[in-house]
Chain A
Amino acid sequence: MRRTAGSVLLAITALLFLSDCVAPHPYSEQFRETPRAGICRRFPLGTDDLGRDRLSRLLYGGRISLECAPAAAFVSSLLALTLALAGGYGGHWAGRLVGVAADLCLSLPWLFALLAARAALPLDAPAGATVLVTFGLLSLLGWAGPCRMLMAAVKVRRQSEFALAAHAAGCSGLRIAVVQILPNLIPLLWTQFLVTMPAFLLAEANLGLLGLGVPEPLPSIGGMLRDLADLPNVARHPLALAPAALLFVMVSCCQLLVSADEYHV
């Protein structure tokens, strides 16, 4: 199962990263004479409301999501790890401080934080910068959950025999944390990364549905999912569901990797 999920995810990633070669049209080109076109040779998935090729937009949009969500998950996991090590090895007060910060972060209404950040951005900020800010903010807000788990793991491993032996041998706290504890956290960190990444994919989709995700004319899965609000149109053009299907497959693959990972562990 793990191998299948990994292979599918890898294939999708390869396809999306080759979008420059595979996409039949530029993602923002409007074929205004053929809005909401059905499947045809020219437009394999039809066109959207503005006459833009759905397949091209799906490939580019998926690529943006697959570039940004793992990057944000990586930053988030790194932040979580750093703070977990600091909290777990920095003494009682450092642990309390990190714990309280994580609790506060988890209770933050992050949607409003994102809204405020978007509203505060300069209006002529390029679309790419808006994407970076959106995912950057997601990564800054997503560290708390993994951090609590990692900190608990650090505390357990700190009391383990190999850590005590290293301490008795005169190793410094920093050296024990980096050389002894950190390698033991890698499987857990990988699992947290796999859990966080689909969460960020879904977060982008949710923001896109609200019209606050990746700005036009850049495509995104969330932005394309907005077409699903027009149910009669979806009934006429079921291929409008393609972004939802792609998102489902990507998120499922990540979840299957996590499940398989947990089972494996």
Chain B
Amino acid sequence: MRIATGRSDTGNGSANRMPGPCGPSGRRGRTGPAWRAFGVLIQVLLAVARLGAQQWGGELRVCLHSEPRNLDPLLVEDEPSETVRYLTGGVLVRVNRATQQLEPELAISWKIENGGRTIAFRLREGLRFSDGTPFTAEDVAYTVGRLMDPALHSPTADTFRSGSGPVRTAVRGPHEIAVIFPEPVAGAARLFDQVAILSHQSPQRPGAVLGPFRVVEHKPGSYLLLGRNPNYWKTANGRRLPYLDAVRLQIVQSREMEALRLRQGQIQAISTLDPDLFDEAPGARDIGPSPASELLWFNLKAGGAIPAYRRTWFASPDFRHAISLAIRRQDLCRVVYHGHASPGIGPVSPSNLFWFNRRLAPRGFDPVAARRLLESGGFRNSGGILLDRDGHPVEFSLITNSGNRSRERMAALIEQDLAALGIRLHIVALDFPSLIERISKTFQYEACLLGTSNVDLDPNGQMNVWLSSAANHQWNPEQPAPATPWEAAIDHLMRQQASNLDEHRRKALFDQVQQIVWDQEPFLYLVNRDALVAASPLLHNIQPSVLEPRLLWNVERLWLR
């Protein structure tokens, strides 16, 4: 993964390093003591200038692509709300978006106890919420209690439910607390990256926050103004961070308008840039594969309105492999994404440094192998039309959501790729609600082209996809029992890894899941989109990450010139 690093922050001391007394060795000419002293003086002046380079204050302006649905941090389920939660919420531990490692935040340390059923946190002392109320273990207990309240229906709570029983808390002291799960939870600490701690006694909750900013003004449909949290606990050079006074989140749905605003200097950063706009956006950067994938799958749901002979095609791994081999993924990346994508491999993007199975490789374009696989399955080509064993012409429909130009273009490329095999593809662009209705309720579709983004790095976040009983097991959801042996194997491996506390053992188990998915191809992974960002040269200290929020993850250390 390529991660472009921004300018270094003098707060971490890197810029305080003085240059060595000697210039580059081997230079001849005027190297007398007077010149050396002059050189040292210049470098000292530059270093001093860098030391004081950060500017405090200013308002950072960025865009959200829709209105945040909920500003309650425990009820976040959409991307804009998640951004607001990230900028305002204080969490016990944080996944560093650059290193993808867990780092202490409000908790100084944590310890797994009781065979993985308990996680004990030691909290930072002397912290205060934005309204001045003190931060204690009671606040964590209150937050977890509210999060797990079934009446709240918090989407975040689903990841905490490891078994049939309540998640409890035990306050062990003013700054010590244990969270007790009914069953062992692997990677439990990571779950707390998404839990913004609420004050149990503040009358302003959930407005009282521990993050770098707090919501000051919200004009629905127009903007959200975040002001600095006067009690934020992180400091730099003896002053409380963040450097910025405010962040204005403007609600702009059109990505073209967003790029235009960046060009005109009305905003300073774009965290998700459209590939079509990359070349024109000032300060645009491609920071490598993102966790987002584009994929295609066939409907294998029993009882769906598909002729039986077509279901037989789709259920055949050889047929799926043949389709996969006939698609020119490199063309999808080059033509549709202007080169800002890489061929898809499997359930985990290469951007997920720890969990990605590096033994897997993208399926190449191999029409000869595709034809061979089809012939072995009884298919034959007659006058440029592929026929199955019973003489049915091979044709099927592919649905995707209308308005998404990248997907519509991909579908058009795939249509021509498959036409070379004699397969006729009907592309149907449906409005999003109709598409969701078909893939999740009526199952009246044959193949679907959609995208997915794994927000959670941990494979436990994908349980709702890989378990055969899960609702998001898209190709054949909510199975009473696994329909195939390989789905049963995935069920077994996913459950095993979820209850194992050894990270490396979990990795080995999840690698097997990825291998099975690669072998069986229930999902045909097409491309991994690159994370594209753009930032004004006025914005400093940016360290773009492929994980959300890409440019704002170190918002407390960003500053504007």
Partner among A118, A211, A232 whose Cβ is within 8 Å of the Cβ of B408: A211
Quick check: A230 and B256 within 8 Å, CB to CB? yes
Give per-residue flags for A198-217: 1 if the beta carbon is below 8 A from chain B beta carbons, else 0: 00000000000011100111
Quick check: B277 and A232 within 8 Å, CB to CB? yes
Contact A211:B403 (CB < 8 A) given known A123-B444, A232-B280: yes
Quick check: A32 and B446 within 8 Å, CB to CB? no
Quick check: B427 and A215 within 8 Å, CB to CB? yes
Which residues of A are found within 8 Å of B411, using beta-carbon distances? Answer: 216
Decide yes or no whether B452 CB sits under 8 A from chain A.
Answer: no
Quick check: B335 and A125 within 8 Å, CB to CB? no
A positions within 8 Å CB-CB of B: 28, 30, 32, 35, 49-51, 115, 118-119, 123-127, 210-212, 215-217, 226, 229-233
Contact A123:B446 (CB < 8 A) given known A118-B430, A215-B429, A216-B411: yes
Which residues of A are found within 8 Å of B496, using beta-carbon distances? Answer: none
Decide yes or no whether B397 CB sits under 8 A from chain A.
Answer: yes
Give per-residue flags for B388-415: 1 if the beta carbon is below 8 A from chain A beta carbons, else 0: 0000000111010011010011011101
Quick check: A32 and B412 within 8 Å, CB to CB? no
| B425-442 contacts to A (CB < 8 Å) | 426-431, 434
Quick check: A30 and B416 within 8 Å, CB to CB? yes
Give per-residue flags for B313-347: 1 if the beta carbon is below 8 A from chain A beta carbons, else 0: 00000000000000010010011100000000000
Nearest CB on B from A164, distance (A) = 54
Nearest CB on A from B416, distance (A) = 5
Quick check: A211 and B402 within 8 Å, CB to CB? yes
Quick check: A35 and B402 within 8 Å, CB to CB? no
| B349-384 contacts to A (CB < 8 Å) | none
Q: Which residue of chain B is the closest to A48 with respect to CB atoms? A: B409
Quick check: A126 and B426 within 8 Å, CB to CB? yes
28 contacts between A and B (CB under 8 A): A30-B413, A30-B416, A32-B331, A32-B335, A49-B405, A50-B409, A50-B412, A50-B413, A51-B335, A115-B431, A118-B430, A123-B399, A124-B397, A124-B446, A125-B426, A126-B426, A210-B402, A211-B402, A211-B429, A215-B428, A215-B429, A216-B427, A217-B415, A217-B427, A230-B276, A231-B256, A232-B280, A233-B276
Decide yes or no whether B149 CB sits under 8 A from chain A.
Answer: no
Nearest CB on B from A228, distance (A) = 10
Decide yes or no whether B113 CB sits under 8 A from chain A.
Answer: no
Partner among B259, B276, B426 whose Cβ is within 8 Å of the Cβ of A123: B426
Cα A231 to Cα B254 in complex, Å, equals: 12
Contact A229:B256 (CB < 8 A) given known A123-B426, A212-B402: yes
Cα A116 to Cα B538 in complex, Å, equals: 48
Quick check: A49 and B402 within 8 Å, CB to CB? no
Decide yes or no whether B518 CB sits under 8 A from chain A.
Answer: no
Quick check: A123 and B445 within 8 Å, CB to CB? yes
Contact A226:B405 (CB < 8 A) given known A118-B430, A123-B426, A232-B277: yes
B positions within 8 Å CB-CB of A: 256, 259-260, 276-277, 279-280, 328, 331, 334-336, 395-397, 399, 402-403, 405, 408-409, 411-413, 415-416, 426-431, 434, 444-446
Q: Which residue of chain A is the closest to B280 with respect to CB atoms? A: A232
Quick check: B279 and A232 within 8 Å, CB to CB? yes
Q: Which residue of chain A is the closest to B399 with respect to CB atoms? A: A123
Nearest CB on A from B276, distance (A) = 5
Nearest CB on A from B266, distance (A) = 16
Nearest CB on B from A57, distance (A) = 12
Which residues of B are found within 8 Å of A126, using beta-carbon distances? Answer: 426
Contact A124:B396 (CB < 8 A) given known A32-B335, A230-B256: yes
Which residues of A are found within 8 Å of B396, using beta-carbon distances? Answer: 124
Q: Which residue of chain B is the closest to A223 with respect to CB atoms? A: B408
Quick check: A35 and B335 within 8 Å, CB to CB? yes
Cα A210 to Cα B416 in complex, Å, equals: 23
Cα A75 to Cα B434 in complex, Å, equals: 30
Which residues of B are found within 8 Å of A233, using beta-carbon distances? Answer: 276
Which residues of B are found within 8 Å of A232, using beta-carbon distances? Answer: 259, 276-277, 279-280
Cα A216 to Cα B426 in complex, Å, equals: 9
Quick check: A50 and B276 within 8 Å, CB to CB? no
Quick check: A119 and B402 within 8 Å, CB to CB? no
Which residues of B are found within 8 Å of A118, using beta-carbon distances? Answer: 430
Quick check: A123 and B428 within 8 Å, CB to CB? yes
Nearest CB on B from A35, distance (A) = 5
Quick check: B434 and A119 within 8 Å, CB to CB? yes
Which residues of A are found within 8 Å of B413, using beta-carbon distances? Answer: 30, 32, 50
Cα A215 to Cα B277 in complex, Å, equals: 25
Which residues of A are found within 8 Å of B426, using beta-carbon distances? Answer: 123-127
Q: Which residue of chain A is the closest to B445 with respect to CB atoms? A: A123
Contact A212:B280 (CB < 8 A) given known A123-B444, A217-B412: no
Besides the contacts A115-B431, A212-B431, what 4 more A-B pairs have beta carbons closer than 8 Å?
Answer: A30-B416, A32-B334, A49-B336, A226-B405
Q: Which residue of chain A is the closest to B428 with respect to CB atoms? A: A123
Q: Which residue of chain A is the closest to B403 with respect to CB atoms? A: A211
Which residues of B are found within 8 Å of A211, using beta-carbon distances? Answer: 402-403, 408, 429
Quick check: B427 and A124 within 8 Å, CB to CB? no
Cα A238 to Cα B221 in complex, Å, equals: 34
Cα A148 to Cα B427 in complex, Å, equals: 39
Contact A119:B444 (CB < 8 A) given known A28-B416, A124-B395, A211-B402: no
Nearest CB on B from A110, distance (A) = 15
Nearest CB on A from B423, distance (A) = 13
Cα A231 to Cα B405 in complex, Å, equals: 14
Quick check: B431 and A119 within 8 Å, CB to CB? yes
Q: Which residue of chain B is the closest to A212 with respect to CB atoms? A: B402
Q: Which residue of chain A is the closest to B395 with respect to CB atoms? A: A124
Q: Which residue of chain A is the closest to B397 with respect to CB atoms? A: A123
Quick check: A216 and B256 within 8 Å, CB to CB? no
Q: Which residue of chain B is the closest to A229 with respect to CB atoms? A: B256
